[in-house]
Structure 1
Amino acid sequence: MKPILLYLIFCGLFFIHFQSSAQLKPQPEAEDENYEKEWAIGLNMNTNAGLIGGVNIRWSRKTLFNRTPTGENSYHHISLEMVNVKHPKEEQQTSAFTGNSFILRKTNYLFSIRPHFGREWILFRKAKEQGVQVNAIVAGGPSIGIVAPYLIRVASGSGEEEVQYDPEVHTNSNEIRGVGSIFKSLGQSSITAGVSAKASVVFELGSSNRSTSGFEAGTMIEYYPEQIEIMAVPDNYQFFTSIFLIFFFGARK
């Protein structure tokens, strides 16, 4: 099992235990606990990307049914995130000539832009001065996949050149000097469209009811109509699943 997966599971279990302990004794509700809007920005960690997978922005607004007992805890959810999707067989190697790292047999980057729309519910409210608020989110929407060539620097007669990795041409890894420019890769990228959905639990920490911080943990599924070649291997995918963890901060009113 990957270390990042173990880390995410550990964090999730730790905070679930923390929340369960906090709920054992009754706590008074905050006077200004109700809020109409909330926004937050955070860093994404997931099992398809590594330590820092991307960025996430989310916005919540109370639903039109807020006059009902159920509606008091119901919010519209909108989020936008951009993450780097990696192949599970990616491994860093180091050039013997330059000391720079590169990924052997990687042919393309896959950057996924995911605008999501859904619903958010408050499961537990935090106390006035301390505690944890727990929300649940279910959302989905389109996925915009940016497929950019993975450029490597190789020796040439004039020094070095940046080319896309080709397993039939670059058979000698000792000729690879490092990774090419990501901006040049993005300039040669193509777009593909898919769909994605997530289910998650949000743990909001802190004592202020006008600011928010904490983390969101959940699972993501993503589908593209055809396989996307990330590496020059037989098993590339069109269906991706991941466990993610987002550390965020924001404000509400």
Structure 2
Amino acid sequence: MYGLSVGLASAQSAEEEESYSREFTYGLNFNSNGGLLGGAMIKQVYHMGGKWYQFWALEGVEVKHPKESRVQNYNTGASYINGKSNYLFVLRPQYGREYTFFRKAAESGVQVNGLVAAGPSIGIMAPYFIEYDRSNYIEQQGALYLVGPLIINTEQYDPNVHTNNFFIVGAPGVFKGLSEPSFRVGANLKAGLSFEYGRYMESVTGIEVGMLVEAFAGDMTLMPNASNRNAFFSVYLTLYYGRRR
């Protein structure tokens, strides 16, 4: 009887380990091209058999130029990104495969997966606008005096046109640029490892780390006076949470 009980317990434990067929997660992405917070992702995983899984994912991130630096106008207190002409936001639908190296026990432990994924990259280029002082001034004894009305125009930043930073009074924000988007088509490929935690089998909390490369067709000028490229490489970390069944 004792041996039969042990056998049943082992079979039950193995069944618990294989007890989920789907997993849905969502999380925040941090990457070397996105600054402090890169973007967000959602992911749906399906069990294929054994230790293999397939998944569909969607990532939305901002890609920044490595030369970006924020400057403050001390007269107005507002800030802007010096030399930036365009934002780049990217949507990445992906299909991938996962392999489980170490499986998490039913109520504790860590599960380690290896993964690869690929898919199209939909680039959204949005103009970066600044508020530029177009008023008339005269200079007397080293000081500027306003002549006539104050004229502040909202214009796409071109460092070859807006050469005097003194007259850049601020930036209206990203939503202004998103009202005038243009699109680029590309592709991406990533590889990584995920480490899943969770008190119970149906709960998923974890991190994913890896590398991603993507390339686009067309003009990808983010900063006119800096070196721009069509291919981007990044390392990333994603914090995610979800459920499985």
TM-score by length of 2: 0.85
Counterpart of 1:212?
Answer: 204
Amino acid at match of 2:66: P
Query: Contact conserved, 1:30 with 1:126, CA < 8 A, in 2?
Result: no
Q: Is structure 2 residue 115 aligned with structure 1 residue 130?
A: no
Correspondence 1:238 to 2:222? no
> Are 1:78 and 2:78 matched, yes or no?
no
Q: For the residues of structure 2 that align with 1:173 and 1:183, how far apart are their CA atoms?
A: 23
Distance 2:118 2:74 in 1: 45
Partner of 1:92: 70
Structure 1 spans left out of the alignment, 5+ residues = 1-27, 67-71
Report the CA distance between 1:164 and its aligned residue. Answer: 0.4
Task: Give, as a single letter, the amino acid of the residue that structure 1 aligns with 2:61.
Answer: V
CA-to-partner distance for each residue in 1:88-143, whole Å, 9 max, x for gaps? 11111111222222111100000010000011111111223321101111000100
The correspondence for 1:50, drawn from 24, 35, 51, is 35
CA RMSD of aligned residues (A): 1.6
Q: Give the equivalent residue in structure 2 for 1:13.
A: none
Contact 2:67–2:226 (Cα < 8 Å) also in 1? no
CA 1:30–1:246: 2 relative to 1, 3 Å: farther
Question: Unmatched 5+ residue regions in structure 2?
Answer: 1-11, 136-149
Name the counterpart of 1:191.
183
The SS at the match of 2:230 is strand
Rg comparison, structure with higher value: 2
Equivalent residue number for residue 19 of structure 1 = none
How many pairs align? Answer: 219
8 A Cα contact 1:38 1:60, kept in partner: yes
The alignment partner of 2:217 has SS state of strand
User: Residues 50 and 79 (structure 1 numbering): CA distance in 2 closer, same or farther, change over 3 Å?
Assistant: same
- Pairing of 1:1-253 with structure 2 (within 5 A): 32-34=16-18, 35-63=20-48, 66=49, 72-157=50-135, 158-253=150-245
d(CA) in 1 for partners of 2:15 and 2:152? 65
Write the distance in 2 (CA, Å) between the matches of 1:159 and 1:231.
Answer: 26
Give the TM-score normalised by structure 1.
0.82
